[in-house]
Amino acid sequence: MDLPPVITTYLTAHNARDVDSAITAYAPDAVVVDDGRTYHGPEEIRAWLAGAASQYTYTTELISATQLDQEHYDVLQHLEGDFPGGVVDLHHRFTLRGTTIARLVIEP
């Protein structure tokens, strides 16, 4: 499916570990939930992006993308790398507000 440009731009930047480009996709009051932790606003999200980008080496493959309604999208990605377990399928559950990401929840 065709994803909104903000999601494809974000995923491309995140996969390239381009924190400066990835952070521009988020609303000023955005929230990210990943690995049991919640990150609020651009400073915390930037720190999370920088940490996620440097902590492990991995590859991603887009498995599926589903539009749930006008604001909600579920993107399933397959990751392989040097993180614990080495292989995982993760849902990226996006909530959009206009042309920005208001919330992102990443979970198996």
Decide if 68 contacts 91 (C-beta within 8 A): no
Decide if 49 contacts 14 (C-beta within 8 A): yes
pTM of the full structure: 0.94
- The string of pLDDT tens digits covering residues 93-102 is 999 999 999 9
What is the 8-class DSSP label of residue 99? Answer: T
Q: How many whole angstroms from its chain centre is CA 67?
A: 15
Class of 5-107 per CATH? alpha beta
How far apart are the C-alpha atoms of 13 and 98, rounded to whole Å? 19
Which amino acid makes up residue 20?
Answer: D
What phi-psi label fits residue 98: left (phi over 0), alpha (psi between -120 and 50 degrees) or beta?
A: left
Q: Could you identify the residue written with the tokens 């999208």?
A: 73
Decide if 73 contacts 7 (C-beta within 8 A): yes
Per-residue pLDDT for 54 more than 90? no
Domain locations in the chain? 5-107
- The string of pLDDT tens digits covering residues 59-104 is 999 999 999 999 999 999 999 999 899 999 999 999 999 999 999 9
What is the 8-class DSSP label of residue 108? Answer: -
